[in-house]
Structure 1
Amino acid sequence: MSHGTRRIDYWRDPTAPHPTSRKTSASVFVQDEAGRLLLLKRVDNDLWTIPTGGVKKGETVGQAGVRECKEETGLDIEVVGLVGVFSTPDHVIVYMHGDRVDEVRQPINICLRARVTGGTITPEPSEAAEVRWVQQSDLDAYAVHPALRERIVHGLTSEMPFVS
């Protein structure tokens, strides 16, 4: 875990703090030719996830997904479709700096389908502790937050975009 910001995710928890912000993020659902899924281990909560990050001013959701994947994994990708839009109030994220709450966010995530076009897996230490290709049959062995698991399951089981 990093020594700066810490992240705590709440899912369907009535005791979760009330959000103070809503921000849009892009995530990318990337599979290789063998159907393995690209996962990374976050440094701020030690959970496994697909590449994800905030959409910055001046960029599209697609550009954000491509940028975040490159920053977190070292891989170049191209967007080929949409897994869905995930905006349920059931997911609340608290960002802590030491013992201080910096932000309580209700995320709006646009999850994109993508494929690798180049690069080499080289995790950025401040972004990912580890990056690996995971067989679908092995996914249950990975600690994945329920909100992210929902995106992954939808990406694996449906070609129709999800909207919540």
Structure 2
Amino acid sequence: MSNRRDYYRDPHAPKANSLVPGGSALIVDEQGAILMQRRSDSGNWSLPGGTMEIGETLEHCVVRETKEETGLDIEITGLLGIYTDPEHVIAYSDGEVRQEFNVTYYGRVIGGQLALSAESTDVRFLRPEELEGVPVHDTVRLRLQHHAAQRTQPFLG
């Protein structure tokens, strides 16, 4: 796995040379805590998710990636938003510079058990107040803010 660096609204960011559809899951437990993983490549806490593979839908991708990264089986229950900000690029050590393209779904746990993967150093449900004091990328914080605002319509941007 290559290392990555996120750039957000940074005038010194490299120019994007790639666009890859990806998705993530925002899953809330009965107490309002949100399923988060601490990424092994950046150290940031993030929502589980990843990029599409040929032959699958984005919804299936998010279910698969959540299982791979957290050990939990989920079903998709709704749409938080579509996040395609060209000012968020992710530079990988292999030279790829990817413009953000993420669809964040709501989901709920239907099985499995929490487990670490090679992509994470920690996986757990964090309460909103716990998330305030841990490293979370600004673009993920935006999704968490949209969730907290209890939007009636998905974010489109």
Shorter-chain TM-score: what band?
Answer: over 0.9
Deviation digits for residues 31-68 of structure 1 (CA, Å, limit 9, x no counterpart): 01111000100011111100020011111111011001
Q: Distance in 2 between matches of 1:155 and 1:27?
A: 13
Alignment partner of 1:77 is 2:74: yes
Q: 1:103 aligns with which of 96, 101, 104?
A: 96
| Alignment equivalent of 1:14, drawn from 11, 16, 27 | 11
Secondary structure of 1:34 counterpart: coil
Q: Which residue of 1 aligns with 2:121?
A: 129
How many residues are treated as equivalent by the alignment?
Answer: 156
Task: State the secondary structure of the residue aligned to 1:5.
Answer: coil
Whole-Å separation in 2 of the counterparts to 1:137 and 1:131: 17
Secondary structure of the residue aligned to 2:65 is helix
Unaligned runs of 5+ in 2: none
Runs of 4+ in 1 over 3 A off after TM superposition: none
For residues 86 and 132 of structure 2, the distance between their equivalents in structure 1, rounded to whole angstroms, comes to: 25
Q: Which amino acid aligns with 2:116?
A: P
What aligned pairs does 1:1-164 form with structure 2 within 5 A after superposition? Answer: 4-96=1-93, 101-124=94-117, 126-157=118-149, 158-164=151-157
Report if aligned partners of 1:93, 1:107 keep a CA contact under 8 Å in 2.
yes
Q: What is the deviation of 1:89?
A: 0.7
Task: Using structure 2 for the length normalisation, give the TM-score.
Answer: 0.96
Identity %: 40
* SS of equivalent residue, structure 1 residue 137: helix
